[in-house]
Structure 1
Amino acid sequence: MRIIVLNLTIDIGNTQTKLGFFDGLDLKSVQKLSSVDNIPWQSIIDTNKITHSIISQVGNVQSDLETLHNNTQYVEVHHQLQLPFTSDYDPFTNLGIDRVVGLAAATYLFPLENILIIDAGTCITYDLITSKAHHLGGVISPGLMMRYQAMHTFTHQLPKLEIQQPSSFPPTNTDEAMHHGVISSVVAEIEAFIGRFGTFTPTFRIILTGGDAGFLSKRVKNGILADENFLAIGLNLLLETNKS
């Protein structure tokens, strides 16, 4: 009889928390939460028969994780964890934990490949890792909603808009002008950075992840692998590697 070992991955980002439920390496389901407050950890553990858990969080988000500590074999992602890559980032401890997880995922899933990871979330990050599992560095820029919010917040009259594909060009009203200013500029930025990173290595796989990956993948011309669960898979692989 196979011993079932169920893993729980917890990715606490700037705007949402994502739970991944794994049977070994097999992703069974994903749950998205808007807050880390009052999560019924014990119920989640009991209902899903969780034995191991791993958490990645940006900043010092306060959440009651004692239940996970006490009832599962628990790993928290940090810079001293056993990682499958090296990095030129200086200091390495300033590299965001979400970027660490993405680099680990790329290294585990696509060994011996050059990879550009584009994580389109609250911010958009670009990280290039070589086929020798060495991180050359990366870029941070504002995400889609941050750009919309900035125009609304720092002006007196521009409206607060949601993400929407712009229509005809040139725009003939304020909403369309803002949509083009955000969406078209982000698409142009992504394609420009793909070209610039290409000066460091002639070929590389491009991975687009993050909450806006699905929206952007339909608009970027370059061939891209889009996977919104990429970081959850990376967390699970880190958990498997660092199990005690």
Structure 2
Amino acid sequence: MRIIVLNLTIDIGNTQTKLGFFDGLDLKSVQKLSSVDNIPWQSIIDTNKITHSIVSQVGNVQSDLETLHNNTQYVEVHHQLQLPFTSDYDPFTNLGIDRVVGLAAATYLFPLENILIIDAGSCITYDLITSKAHHLGGVISPGLMMRYQAMHTFTHQLPNLEIQQPSSFPPTNTDEAMHHGVISSVVAEIEALIGRFGTFTPTFRIILTGGDAGFLSKRVKNGILADENFLAIGLNLLLETNKS
């Protein structure tokens, strides 16, 4: 009888926490949580028979992970882990943990390919990695909601809008003007940066991931929408690589 070893991946982002449950490399289920507070880790471990766990945290978001640390073989993503890629980023420790996980996922899932990862979350990040698993660098820019919120926060009269596809052009009202200012500029930015990265690596696969990837994938030429569990798969592969 095969011994089942269950892995738990925990991706703690700026707006939600995502749990991935794996049997080896096989993703069994995903759970999304709106908060990192009061997560019943012991119940999750016991119910799902978790033996190994890996955690990725961004920014200043913190969660009480002592239960995981004490009751599973626990790995926290950091820059000294055994990673499947090299990088020109300087210093490498300034490369965001979410970007590290994305690069690891791309290297594992698309070996021997040049990959441009576009992660459309709170910020939009662009990272180019070669077929030799070498990270050439990347770009960080404000995400969709950050752009809307900036216009509302730093002016007296502009409204606080949600993401919406603009309809008419040229815009004839403030809401439409703001939607075009955000959506059209982000699409133009993405397409321009795809061209700019193309001067370094003429051909590459484009992976579009992150919370706004579904919205943007309909508007960006040649964008390949990654599996919504792209980062969970990357975390699990890092866990498998770094098991003691």
The alignment's TM-score, normalised by the length of structure 1, stands at 0.98
Question: How far is the alpha carbon of 1:16 from its aligned partner?
Answer: 1.3
Structure 2 Cα separation of the partners of residues 25 and 102 of structure 1? 17
Q: Report how far residue 4 of structure 1 moved.
A: 1.0
1:165 match = 165
C-alpha contact (below 8 Å) 1:113/1:131 kept by paired residues: yes
After TM superposition, give the deviation of residue 77 of structure 1 in Å. Answer: 0.3
Counterpart of 1:93 in 2: which secondary structure? helix
Counterpart CA distance in 2 for 1:70 and 1:162 is 41
Cα distance in 1 for partners of 2:84, 2:100 equals 10
Partners of 1:228 and 1:171 lie apart in 2 by 33
Contact 1:214 / 1:226 at 8 angstroms: preserved in 2?
no
Tell me by how many angstroms 1:203 deviates. Answer: 0.7
Taking the aligned partners of 1:188 and 1:234, their CA distance within structure 2 comes to 29
Report whether the alignment pairs 1:213 with 2:199.
no
* Cα deviation, residue 242, structure 1: 0.4
Give the conservation status (yes or no) of the 8 Å contact 2:214–2:225: no
Kindly state the Cα deviation for residue 60 of structure 1 after the two structures are TM-superposed.
4.0
Residue 190 of structure 1, CA deviation: 0.7
Paired with 1:151 and 1:60, the residues of 2 have a C-alpha distance of 24
Shift of 1:64: 1.0
The CA deviation at 1:221 is: 1.4
Question: 2-side partners of 1:84 and 1:55: how far apart?
Answer: 18
Q: CA deviation digits over 1:63-89, x for unaligned, max 9?
A: 111100111110000000000000000
Contact map agreement 1:213 1:227 (CA 8 A) in 2 = no
Q: Is the 8 A contact 1:4 1:23 kept in 2?
A: yes
1:138 Cα deviation (Å)? 0.1
Give distance in 1, aligned partners of 2:108 and 2:226. 17
Q: Tell me the alpha carbon deviations over residues 42-78 of structure 1, each in whole angstroms, 9 at most, x when there is no partner.
A: 1111111111100000134321111001111100000
Query: What are the ranges of 5 or more consecutive residues in structure 1 without an aligned counterpart?
Result: none
Percent identity of equivalent pairs: 98
Task: Give 1:222 deviation, angstroms.
Answer: 1.8
TM norm structure 2: 0.98
> Residue 228 of structure 1: CA displacement?
2.3
Q: Distance in 2 between matches of 1:159 and 1:112?
A: 47
Distance 2:152 2:61 in 1: 27
Q: Which moved more, 1:230-239 or 1:55-64?
A: 55-64
Q: Is the 8 A contact 2:14 2:61 kept in 1?
A: no
Structure 2 stretches of 5 or more lacking a match? none
Partner Cα separation in structure 2 for residue 213 and residue 23 of structure 1: 27
Shift of 1:185: 0.8
In the alignment of these two chains, the number of paired residues is 244
Measured after TM superposition, the shift of residue 27 of structure 1 is 1.3
Alpha-carbon contact 2:118-2:127 (below 8 Å) kept? yes
CA distance in structure 2 between the partners assigned to 1:181 and 1:2 by the alignment: 56
What is the Cα deviation at residue 226 of structure 1?
2.8
2:32, 2:242 → 1: CA distance? 25
Question: Aligned-residue CA RMSD in angstroms?
Answer: 0.9
Per the TM alignment, residue 227 of structure 1 is displaced from its structure 2 partner at its CA by 2.5
Please identify runs of 4+ aligned residues in structure 1 that moved more than 3 A.
none
Aligned equivalents of 2:60 and 2:158: distance in 1?
33
Q: Is the 8 A contact 2:208 2:223 kept in 1?
A: no
Determine if contact 1:208/1:227 at 8 Å carries over to the other structure: no
C-alpha displacement of 1:128: 0.2
C-alpha distance 77-62 of structure 1, shift in aligned 2 (>3 A)? same
Quote the Cα distance in structure 2 between the aligned partners of 1:212 and 1:202. 26
